[in-house]
Amino acid sequence: MKGKTFRSPYTNVIHAGQEHDPQFGGVSVPIYQTSTFAFRDADQGADRFAGRDAGYIYTRIGNPTTKALEDNLAILEGGCGALATATGMAAVTTVYTALLDKDSHLIGTAACYGPSRTVMETEFSRFGVTADFIDTSDLGHVERLIRPNTRLLYIETPANPTLILTDLRACARLAKKHNLLLVVDNTFSSPLLQRPLDLGADVVLHSLTKFINGHSDVVGGVVIAREEALFKKLQKVLRLMGGTMDPHQAWLVLRGVKTLALRVEKAQQGAAELAPYLAAHPKVAWVNYPGLPSHPQHELAKSQMSGFGSMICFGLKGGYGAGKKMINAVKLCALAVSLGGIESLIQHPASMTHAGVPKEEREGAGITDDLIRLSVGCEGVEDLRADLEQALDKA
């Protein structure tokens, strides 16, 4: 990976892989809003296509603004290279398309982002790909399901929305033993709280829509590979399938990522105060937050994450009837899907983000009807607590 790297994540989010604009010295990377790049002469055009000249050709294949974002994110995750995609789902489908063949088999985390599972079960299944989405925190179960045609271990940890963890080091050992690739969707943690490639993963992906951009105003995704051969394979598929990122979008994400460390820290502080507050509230039946000592995998969280994040899930004693009254009553938190923005968001996965997963499979994955998901933002925690308090009063 080319480009500057620093010791502190606070510096890396701002400067890693970044150069000032070579033409005028602009401190912010310019938006190269162009679809194509003029060649000096015919030989240069031929050299670029043949890879003898590294200059740009056409924006679907590569663009300087997008490249600045990719260089930054590759350094944050510790990969050899990054590929920015139009959306997080374009990152997921690029990984599936590049790394699976006809008749391959995948083992994935049951409580993963709903569409990552749905696209596998309804679209990739049409090409003979099969998948088992299971509780990947049970590694014995994962190993029993490995077959000769299994290619990918597709892990989300903490899982969406249950916040169940999967042991990434153990998955990496299993992947090595059985010659599988380990792919991790790291959207919930961001590279600041968890670096799967350091723990042995082969590929990491993100929905940039969430923490990395962080302002609820852009959609985007990224795929990051540990090694060059895998990176080239993913890059080839992305360029051909066309799910690449637009330069204007890349510039907005570059602007967002600069405050990632500040935002993650602030939101995490809020969650660390709100999780015990909710757990102690008389109307709350249960709370799942990796930072609570009562979380069944609190020790694993400490060993593979450098912070517990800002996602909390909980259920009320009155079930979803009471939960619905609560989410209808919040005033500061927005009732909206998505997560990882500076504003706090609350939603009901069973009827919203995970409504596409059949009820039986959803409940099997721990996404019960009473589960409410809260993405804690960067507001003052006293205001958030007051908002939750008045909404719980009405539940």
- Residue 175's nearest CA partner among 198, 194, 156, 202 is 202
Q: Does 166 bind ligand PLP (CB under 6 A)?
A: no
Torsion of CA 386, 388, 392, 395, to 10 degrees: 130
Q: Does 291 bind ligand PLP (CB under 6 A)?
A: no
To the nearest 10 degrees (0 to 180), the angle between helices 381-394 and 260-280 is 40
Q: Does 88 bind ligand PLP (CB under 6 A)?
A: yes
Number of residues that bind ligand PLP (CB under 6 A): 15
Q: Does 160 bind ligand PLP (CB under 6 A)?
A: yes
Q: Is 60 a catalytic residue?
A: yes
Q: Which stretch binds ligand PLP (CB under 6 A): 28-36, 81-89, 96-104, 277-285?
A: 81-89
Q: Which of residues 105-124 bind ligand PLP (CB under 6 A)?
A: 113, 116
Return the number of the residue (70 or 185) whose C-beta is nearest ligand PLP: 185
Q: Does 94 bind ligand PLP (CB under 6 A)?
A: no
Q: Catalytic residue, from 32, 56, 96, 113: name it.
A: 113
Q: In angstroms, give the least distance from the CB of 297 to ligand PLP.
A: 18
Q: Catalytic residue, from 117, 210, 226, 373: name it.
A: 210
DSSP conformational letter for 373: E
Q: Is 113 a catalytic residue?
A: yes
Each as own residue / partner, the long-range contacts of residues 316-320 (CB below 8 Å, 24 or more positions apart, any chain) are 316/283, 316/284, 316/285, 316/370, 316/372, 316/392, 316/395, 317/282, 317/283, 317/284, 317/285, 318/283, 318/395, 319/369, 319/370, 320/348, 320/350, 320/369, 320/370
Q: Which stretch binds ligand PLP (CB under 6 A): 15-23, 84-92, 191-199, 277-285?
A: 84-92
Q: Does 297 bind ligand PLP (CB under 6 A)?
A: no
- The residues, any chain, with a CB within 8 Å of residue 206's CB and separated by 6 or more, are 73, 88, 91, 185, 186, 187, 190, 212, 221, 222, 224
- Residue 13's nearest CA partner among 75, 84, 66, 82 is 75
Q: Catalytic residue, from 167, 185, 246, 387: name it.
A: 185
Q: Is 101 a catalytic residue?
A: no
Q: Does 187 bind ligand PLP (CB under 6 A)?
A: yes
Dist CA 208 CA 205 (whole Å): 9
Q: Does 230 bind ligand PLP (CB under 6 A)?
A: no
Q: Does 87 bind ligand PLP (CB under 6 A)?
A: yes
Catalytic residues, by residue number, are: 60, 113, 185, 210
Interface residues toward ligand PLP, by CB under 6 A? 87-89, 113, 116, 156, 160, 185, 187-188, 207, 209-210, 219, 221
